[in-house]
Amino acid sequence: MTGTDAILAERARLLARKLAAPAAEEQTIDVVGFRLGGERYALDAAVVREVLPFTDYTALPGVPPHVVGVTNLRGEILAVFDLRLLFGLPDRGLTDRTRLIVCGADDPEFGIVADSTQDVSALPVSRLLPEATLFGAERQPCVRGITGDAIIVLDGAALLRDRRLFVEGTAASTEGEA
């Protein structure tokens, strides 16, 4: 065999070898990052309908403190909640950076107030540490996990089901009940 034949034979052998199985793609979730009371949070983008500046709302009497009130979203009344108060974080008040994160499965269901928001990003699921027990009972049902760089990732589906984020009945509707 000549030198050229040997080179060609070696190339053919290398090309004919079995390829290693492609590395499995790492599972990721798209999340919307935001800040609450000095802590960093992320919420599954699948439940986020939109993010808007939070400028106007109407307070409701006789509701729990974490219910900010309602706002008009293009002709629809949307309940607004402050997760800072629900999670036992300090209230920072409203500023020009305050945002309304509109959440819902298919349609807008409610809004949550955020001190500020960041971009949507892909978060590798492998980065989530299931350390929900680090948080108090008020946050635990809604926490999917925490990243190594201290971003608390909320479970969007659990948040949509959380009964604390339903405004049911008023004092007037329950007066006749015993």
**What's the confidence (pLDDT) of residue 65?**
86
Q: Give the pTM.
A: 0.74
- Give a yes or no: residue 12 inside a domain: no
- Give a yes or no: residue 97 inside a domain: yes
Q: What is the CATH number of the domain that holds 134?
A: 2.40.50.180
| Domain total of the chain | 1
Task: Give the total residue count for the chain.
Answer: 178
- Give a yes or no: residue 98 inside a domain: yes
- Give a yes or no: residue 70 inside a domain: yes
- Looking at this protein, which amino acid is placed at residue 156? G
- Give a yes or no: residue 171 inside a domain: no
**What's the confidence (pLDDT) of residue 178?**
39
Write out the residue range of the structural domain in which residue 45 sits. 28-166
Per-residue pLDDT of 93-102, as tens digits, reads: 788 889 999 9
Residue 176 pLDDT greater than 70, yes or no: no
- Give a yes or no: residue 113 inside a domain: yes
Cα separation, 157 vs 34, in Å, equals 17
Q: What is the 3-state secondary structure (H, E, C) of the chain?
A: CCHHHHHHHHHHHHHHCCCCCCCCCCCEEEEEEEEECCEEEEEEHHHEEEEEECCCCECCCCCCCCEEEEEEECCEEEEEECHHHHCCCCCCCCCCCCEEEEECCCCCCEEEEECEEEEEEEEEHHHCECCHHHCCCCCHHHEEEECCCCEEEECHHHHHHCHHHCCCCCHHHHCCCC
